[in-house]
Amino acid sequence: MTNITLIGRLTKDVDIVKTRRGNTFGTVSIACDTGKDETSFFDLTLSEKQAEILSKWCGKGKRISVTGEIKQKDKYYNVYVEKFSIIDFKESDAQ
């Protein structure tokens, strides 16, 4: 198992997916700045509860920190999120 910690911006709002077997999980991608005018993109898989919290408090363009297990399939990397922290919260509707 290879763990990774990333800080990046959500590329879109969280998608909550329900499988035929009734399992629910979330997917989203983050863009991480490498500091050399390059950006790396990572797909994230979240538990149902993580996806609900992230979609409620964070949206596209907002920064998060994630720690999880990274797996590679072909040229793509997926991180199965163990924990995350929201750095930039959504603006409140009650302003």
6: pLDDT strictly greater than 90:
yes
Q: What's the pTM?
A: 0.86
Residue with tokens 């072909």: 74
Between 54 and 91, residue with greater pLDDT:
54
At residue 89, the pLDDT reads 83
Spatial separation of the C-alpha atoms in residues 23 and 90, rounded to whole Å = 27
| Residue 78, strand partner residues | 43, 71
Spatial separation of the C-alpha atoms in residues 87 and 94, rounded to whole Å = 20
Spatial separation of the C-alpha atoms in residues 23 and 48, rounded to whole Å = 8
Question: What is the widest separation between alpha-carbon atoms in the chain?
Answer: 46
> Residue 94 contacts by C-beta under 8 Å, 6 or more apart in sequence?
none
Confidence of residue 92 (pLDDT cuts 50, 70, 90): low
